[in-house]
Amino acid sequence: MLEKIKNTTSFLQTNYLKDFTPKVGIILGTGLGGLATKIEKFVEIKYSEIPNFPQSTVAGHSGKLVFGKLGGVNVVAMQGRFHYYEGYTTQEVTFPVRVMKLLGINYLFVSNASGGVNQTFSAGDIMIINDHINLIPNPLIGKNMDEFGVRFPEMSEPYSHELISLAEKCAKELNIDVKKGVYTALSGPSLETNAEYRFIRTIGGDAVGMSTVPEVIVARHMQLPVFGISVITNIGGSGKKDSHEENCRVGQSAEERLSKLIINMLEQL
């Protein structure tokens, strides 16, 4: 695995990046790829052209790495991410995070679409993730990669308090309403039953989704500060039938606010 991570990194550096060093890695969730169009592009590379990269199989995830400037900062954005439910291991899902770290990022920003279980939330809300509950296999299972981090990384601050404060300050300045809460990761791809939504609420989740937590665990293994943000696309157990297409539509309606917030944060990093 380590060899593959290093090979992919040097492939990108040698063939595409030369002296370009990304400072922030951004993972764009389902229906949230629009932020990538705001990047002043240095280069973009399809996943299919990157050795050892998994390929995205989900509609709404276009599958490329975009390098360039956003909010005055050098970034690398993943337009399209990988999910455990696609059949990848969580080690494969998080491979790009390892590569981004070796490319030089100092921060990881992650976004996703999720179902709200906190009854004070509404569809279209933006939730700053302040903690998570992981109910899918941990990506650090297996031999520890000591080059990246310790065997038992601690998880008392998976989401950087400093970045959360910055996000709250930016949201206030921009007059964007934000919630805060705990993201729960389940495997999917079936959406939750009403009983499962109640279970998630009972154990302390505010939102539920099928991504993000593996990437965050791997980032924290490497001591990268993480900022996580979620668009609440539906309210779990509300009696309305969930649909992936409707979730993508609501995600897109929040994208403008999400993009503004992230760009404003980057400007103040």
Number of residues that bind ligand HPA (CB under 6 A): 14
* Residues within window 95-114 making contact with ligand HPA, judged by CB under 6 A: 113-114
Binding status of residue 134 toward ligand HPA by CB under 6 A: no
Per-residue string for binding with ligand HPA, 40-79, x by CB under 6 A? ----------------------------------------
DSSP reduced 3-state for 204:
coil
Give the interface segment with ligand HPA, choosing from 36-44, 53-61, 72-80, 184-192 (CB under 6 A).
184-192
- CA torsion 126-156-89-141 (nearest 10°) is 180
Bridge partner residues of 132 (DSSP): 183
Compute the least distance from the CB of residue 187 to ligand HPA, in Å.
Answer: 10
Nearest-angstrom CA–CA distance, 116 and 105 = 31
Per-residue string for binding with ligand HPA, 142-161, x by CB under 6 A? --------------------
Interacting residue with ligand HPA among 234, 252, 259, 264 (CB under 6 A): 234
Residue nearest to ligand HPA (CB): 115
Nearest-angstrom CA–CA distance, 104 and 125 = 32
DSSP reduced 3-state for 54:
coil
Bridge partner residues of 229 (DSSP): 111, 128
Per-residue string for binding with ligand HPA, 113-132, x by CB under 6 A? xxx-----------------
Nearer to ligand HPA, 182 or 210 (CB): 210
Compute the least distance from the CB of residue 247 to ligand HPA, in Å.
Answer: 4
Interacting residue with ligand HPA among 31, 209, 214, 228 (CB under 6 A): 209
Sign of CA dihedral 161, 163, 166, 171: negative
Binding status of residue 92 toward ligand HPA by CB under 6 A: no
Give the interface segment with ligand HPA, choosing from 7-15, 19-27, 66-74, 234-242 (CB under 6 A).
234-242
Nearest to 58 by CA among 22, 91, 95, 33: 33
96-131 burial: b if 16+ Cβ within 10 Å, else e: bbbbbbbbbbebbbbbbbbbbbbeebebbbbbbbbb
Nearest-angstrom CA–CA distance, 250 and 265 = 23
Binding status of residue 229 toward ligand HPA by CB under 6 A: no
Binding status of residue 247 toward ligand HPA by CB under 6 A: yes
CA 170 to chain centre: 19
List residues near ligand HPA by CB under 6 A: 113-115, 188, 191-192, 208-210, 233-234, 236, 242, 247
